[in-house]
Amino acid sequence: MAEAERIIGTPDIPEAEHGADGGGQDAESDRQPRGKRKIAVLFGVALVAYALDLVSKMIVVAKLEHHEPIDVVGDLLRFNAIRNAGAAFGMGEAYTIIFTVIAAGVIVVIARLARKLYSLPWAIALGLLLGGALGNLTDRIFRSPGVFKGAVVDFIAPKGFAVFNLADSAIVCGGILIVLLSFRGLDPDGTVHKD
């Protein structure tokens, strides 16, 4: 049975959900490596997203802030450094501390969900969310005007659209991927359900 499942490509489903009754220790040892690999992917993606965001913001603050915007693709795309104390599109500037708490909450939820993670696409999606949330949370904690009130550094400015950063991009891409996975019925534990 296990050989047939391997050949037809059954998703990574813990043995208990297959209905195996005698696996015990072997089922647990088979499940552990798969789970660890997905957790490593989650944190690897998060680290790359966080590092790219952090480095890009350091460059922007050092080279672009208090200077004229740089045209990247004519007037369709510019790099224009701004500080955003609010949420997306500059809304809610008076609620910076609330956005900080929300970002911290997202990080905690993802860390808890990681224990049940057996799906590679979910690991990538959650890694993008985690890296983006950490990137903007770092700004909110360490940038002026003060701890938990810091303004996020935004610099990617498409024509006719809000200015954003790489952390925002990671969060949006992760969110879109989660919606697509949910529509396909793929759960974080690797099971597929049909509604």
- Judge whether 187 counts as a catalytic residue: no
61, with CB counted inside 10 A (0-12, 13-18, 19+), is middle
Phi then psi dihedrals of residue 147, to 5 deg: -60, 130
Between CA 159 and CA 129 the distance in angstroms is: 25
Determine which one of 30, 53, 71, 154 is catalytic.
154
Which two structure tokens, joined as six digits, stand for 121? 């696409």
Determine which one of 21, 168, 189, 195 is catalytic.
168
Between CA 60 and CA 169 the distance in angstroms is: 16
CA 5 vs. chain centroid, Å, equals: 31
Distances (CA, A) of 87 to 55, 83, 108, 146, 178: 21, 11, 20, 17, 21
- Judge whether 53 counts as a catalytic residue: no
List the alpha helices (DSSP H) in the chain. Answer: 2-8, 15-18, 24-63, 96-113, 120-142, 166-184
Active site residues: 154, 168
